[in-house]
Amino acid sequence: MAPIPSRPTVLVTGASRGIGLAVVQILLHDFHAKVITISRSISPELQALKDQYKGDVVLVQGDVAGRTKPEVSEEALKQVPSPTALILNAGMADLAPVVQTDRAHWLRTFDLNVFSLINTLVPAIPALRANGGRVVFVSSGAATGNTAGWASYNASKAALNSLCRTFANEEPLIASFAVRPGMVDTPMQAAIRTDAAKGLMRPEEHQRFVDAHREGKLVRPEESGYVLAALAVNGSKELSGQFLNWNGPECAPYMRK
């Protein structure tokens, strides 16, 4: 990898818990970055990082999925106007088989998993161009999967990957990566293992998640989170537009040693 910039400035969405919180911790501790976060709530853990790292953390509370205009993202960029990278992590999985969904269900999922990306990405493009910046789209294996009950989530992550590919083609000065973070031990995973989720999925598919948790096979947030942070700070443009597995050969240089 090329030398790490002396002072990266990274905007992270969905930072209050799980992968997003782990990424913020890693950016501050390992990469000495300045971090601005956007999240619907400010968790005690996120506030503690702000208190610990003083002027290196800016917390913006709000919903990145606002439908009318990207007000929250624009406010964040006013406070830190020249980011070197974005990590677009905000997302949700609203499980239901297609037959039980309606337009409102799909809009909820796409508002957060797709449209919020646009709200944050577009206002930042001029600064990212000027900085030769990077955008990390947090994707999922669902982008290429067909797990029953996950139709809106699967489709939204496929759309995210398509956006990443197209954006990389349109913006050669900005490196863009869609990253599958693995089956991560997060609150979203815990929700998938519940009996309520079991009733919306095929039994064998639900059992796969239960077994992975029981057998200790879930990825820790700080494991794939380190790769996300490293790509945001120093990802190679040779990988731009690709859908990357967090522990695949292309990401090996970005894993914690």
CA distances from 106 to 33, 62, 92, 149 (A): 36, 21, 11, 13
d(CA 61, CA 209) in angstroms, rounded, equals: 32
Of the listed 157, 198, 224, 226, which one is catalytic?
A: 157
Give yes or no: 139 in active site. Answer: yes
Give yes or no: 50 in active site. Answer: no
What lies within 8 Å, CB to CB, of 32 at 6+ separation is: 7
Q: Is 212 helix (H, G, I), strand (E, B) or coil?
A: helix
Q: Is 134 helix (H, G, I), strand (E, B) or coil?
A: strand
Of the listed 34, 50, 153, 226, which one is catalytic?
A: 153
d(CA 1, CA 252) in angstroms, rounded, equals: 11
Give yes or no: 162 in active site. Answer: no
Of the listed 139, 152, 224, 240, which one is catalytic?
A: 139
Strands 9-13 and 85-88, sheet pairing: parallel
Residue positions annotated with a catalytic role = 139, 153, 157
